[in-house]
Amino acid sequence: MNATVLGAGSWGTALAILLARNGIEVALVGRDEDEMRSMAASRENVRYLPGFAIPQNVRYCALSEVPEQAELWVVAVPAGAVRAMLPHVRGEAALVALASKGIDPTQALLMHELLATHPTTKSARVAALSGPNLAVEIVRGIPTAAVAASPDLDVADRVRAAFSGPTFRVYVSRDLVGVELAGALKNVLAIAAGVSDGLGFGDNSKGALLARGLYEMTKLGLAMGAKLETFMGIAGVGDLFATANSRLSRNYRVGYALGQGQSLHNALDEVGQVAEGVATSECVGVLARRHGVEMPVFEAIELVIRGRIRPLEGVSRLMERLPKEEAILVGPESHLEHRLDVS
């Protein structure tokens, strides 16, 4: 098998290494030609994933050198760059693994929805790949898991087979919408967790924040046709816990800097890479309005990220909301709520 990975940042490089370790011939595509030449010479991604040797069965390509065909295309660029990458995905009914954990910022589309609008990818066989997958831990060989999701389980299984290995277990799911949405929205909650820690709040605060945030993103998912169990699994809770509690997470680090009083510009400069949750936070509001879902936690986070309110004011807004019974979603494919008297 051969694969082309679009995106040579830390995530794309980690996925290329993972595929190469499974004996797959990989073309790793990056936008910066000088950087790609440097990586080819050193066999290392010094900028984004330093200290890890890249296997010999990974070759480096600039955008002008993207292969004409691939048995597997892996999209691993930031969500805002996916649209520009789609013309490079070639082949009738191409097999595409979507590893970009974000939402298209121009139309608030999930990644598979965006692919369906483009002439080169509208007939692609698509699966989303998502889970608690911090790039550095993957290349270190630390065990983890992911979910390959597609309405067509044969497509999901082909992606599973390509990526599965001794330390990377891949499950399959039909819930493409849920897996994509969970992977995108947990980045916003990771920023919120970082803000909470940056403010010096304790684990109680962060636990409550993440629980309510998980409820809101699950509620949006159900309104969009996703499955409840997806948000309780590897692609939901699993990814959220990893991203919201790790200093390896770019989104957490951006949030922490905001909580410490830094501007968004300075926080992003300090991280040095794209933090998907920043752009996703605005898209969530669009989706919430589109589907008639109230999401006060996400709304407050977005205001903090944009600098419209201070972090402490965001917390105050959430705490000052009228107290009510806690609502917990129950039952697969259901909008029913089980209410607990928490007075």
The residues annotated with a catalytic role in the active site are 186
Going from the C-alpha of 152 to that of each of 124, 176, 190, 312, the distances in angstroms are 12, 10, 31, 45
Q: How far apart are CA 188 and CA 185, in angstroms?
A: 5
Nearest C-alpha neighbor of 185 from the set 229, 207, 156, 215: 215
DSSP string, 255-303: HHHHHTT--HHHHHHHH-S--HHHHHHHHHHHHHHHHT---HHHHHHHH
Q: 25-30 and 58-62 as β-strands: parallel, antiparallel, unpaired?
A: parallel
Please state, as a whole number, how many other Cβ atoms lie within 10 Å of the Cβ of residue 23: 10
How would you label 49-74 residue by residue, b for 16+ Cβ within 10 Å and e otherwise? Answer: beebebeeebbbbbbeebbeebebbb
Look-up of token digits 């630390």: 142
Look-up of token digits 């950087």: 35
